[in-house]
Amino acid sequence: MANRIRTITLRDGDSAVLEQRTRSGTAREAQRAKMVLRAAEEWPAEDIALHLDCSVNTVRKWRAAYAEKGLKGLEDAPRPGRPRTVVDEKTERAVLHQTLVRPPEELGVTHWSSRLLASKVGLGFSQVAAVWRKWKIKPWLLETFKFSTDPELEGKVRDVIGLYLNPPEGAVVLCVDEKSQIQALDRTQPMLPVRPGLSARRTHDYKRNGTTTLFAALEIATGKVTDVCYSRHRHQEFLKFLKQVAKAYPGQRLHIVCDNYATHKHPKVAEWLDRNKRITLHFTPTSGSWMNLVEVFFSIITRQAIHRGTFSSVKDLTDAIRKFIEVWNDRCEPFVWTKTADQVLAHCKPPTYLTTVH
């Protein structure tokens, strides 16, 4: 005997809520909303189940739940389960203490795993993992750091950040650097474009077609970039680029931030600067090139124009760089530094908890 079609009547205002859930709710919320909407349109349970690829009993369950309780009936009921096990404060301290101590040499490991530490302290590994989550400890994660050993660290930090926060009146502050060895890579097969449910894809193998070096000067007040590409990055190329920058800002006082690369301090460069007193170089601390704001621009152009590009020649690569910078200069905005020198210096020295390990 055919099943009787059971219809339901939507409560006031529920139709809009259910329609929204079908578009932006979770998968469960969307499916249940569609069941109720189709039932309100007098669809049989069998047709709804076929349409939504679920069982008839599932349709009947949520149709009845809505008929009885409305939207409240479409929520998941609280699920009974085993109470969460929480270690006491003393045990938690023991886990934390042991985690922050290097494992004994006889274990032959460099850091604790939850199971290894659990066997050490006599707990379940899930309890150890829960303590780690609570205190945001990740023994398996290893990051890198480098503290500057520059004897003039404080003076250089205050000099460069002073230019960013309080640029000299009537002068232009520029950040200059070179992005060397940019490779013109050509993939062995065409890149597959992005599609719904699929990210863009490319082959892992490639052909090298040469390299170039991008010299760039970023004007922090506007974001405008002066650029040139050379095949090498010696002091000769750096000096040629400085002359190009000087021509781009005729008669203006220039304060140029750059790093401690040897070509930036070459005697030929120093001689030219002596003859051009309106141009002053300011050096970032050793291991502090991240303070040079042009590095932010290099990150942007790498992500947006170089990393995904395919280039059959160095000319293709330099053309792509030039085109990006031309468009960039039409839409650029100021680069704003927000940290004070004191804030930066507070993070440039080893923290007090670091001690020498013998």
pLDDT in tens, 143-191: 888 888 889 999 999 999 999 999 999 999 999 999 999 999 998 898 8
Residues 272, 333 share a domain: yes
Cα angle for residues 99, 101, 103 (degrees, 5° grid): 90
Q: What is the pLDDT of residue 276?
A: 96
Residues 113, 249 share a domain: no
Residues 93, 66 share a domain: no
Q: What is the pLDDT of residue 352?
A: 63
Average pLDDT rounded to a whole number, residues 293-322: 96
- Is 80 part of any domain? no
Residues 209, 329 share a domain: yes
Residue 4: pLDDT band with limits 50, 70, 90: low
- Is 79 part of any domain? no
Phi-psi region of 90 (alpha: psi -120 to 50; beta: other; left: phi over 0): alpha
Residues 233, 277 share a domain: yes
Q: Are 313 and 138 in contact (CB under 8 A)?
A: no
CATH number at residue 170: 3.30.420.10
Residues 180, 270 share a domain: yes
- Is 184 part of any domain? yes
Q: What is the 3-state secondary structure (H, E, C) of the chain?
A: CCCCCCCCCCCCCHHHHHHHHHHHCCHHHHHHHHHHHHHHCCCCHHHHHHHHCCCHHHHHHHHHHHHHHHHHHHCCCCCCCCCCCCCCHHHHHHHHHHHCCCCCHHHCCCCCCHHHHHHHHCCCHHHHHHHHHHHCCCCCCCCCCCCCCCCCHHHHHHHHHHHHHCCCCCEEEEEEEEEEEEEEEEECCCCECCECCECCECCCCEEEEEEEEEEEEEECCCCCEEEEEECCCCHHHHHHHHHHHHHHCCCCEEEEEECCCHHHHCHHHHHHHHHCCCEEEEECCCCCHHHCCHHHHHHHHHHHHHCCCCCCCHHHHHHHHHHHHHHHHHHCCCCCCCCCHHHHHHCCCCCCCCCCCC
Instruction: Give the model confidence (pLDDT) of 9-53 as tens digits.
Output: 899 889 999 999 998 888 899 999 999 999 999 899 999 999 999
Residues 276, 322 share a domain: yes
Residues 307, 241 share a domain: yes
Report percent pLDDT > 90 for the chain.
75
Count CB-CB contacts under 10 A for residue 237: 18
What pairs with residue 1 in β-bridges? none
- Answer whether residue 309 shows pLDDT above 80: yes
Q: Which of 74, 107, 122 is the last residue of a domain?
A: 74
Q: By residue range, what is the domain housing residue 116?
A: 89-135
Instruction: Work out how many domains the chain is built from and give that number.
Output: 3
Residues 180, 58 share a domain: no
- Answer whether residue 86 shows pLDDT above 70: no
Tokens 């291991």, residue?
287
Residues 174, 129 share a domain: no
Q: What is the pLDDT of residue 354?
A: 55
- Is 143 part of any domain? no
Tell me the CB-side half-sphere exposure of residue 72, using CA atoms within 13 A.
Answer: 2
**Whole-angstrom distance, CA of residue 298 vs CA of residue 17:** 47
- Is 140 part of any domain? no
- Is 4 part of any domain? no
- Is 43 part of any domain? yes
Residues 157, 130 share a domain: no
**Whole-angstrom distance, CA of residue 49 vs CA of residue 58:** 8
- Answer whether residue 308 shows pLDDT above 60: yes
Instruction: Give the model confidence (pLDDT) of 95-111 as tens digits.
Output: 999 999 999 999 999 99
Tokens 């939507």, residue?
10
Tokens 């069998």, residue?
46
Residues 170, 295 share a domain: yes
Count CB-CB contacts under 10 A for residue 276: 13
- Is 208 part of any domain? yes
Cα 304 from chain centroid?
A: 14
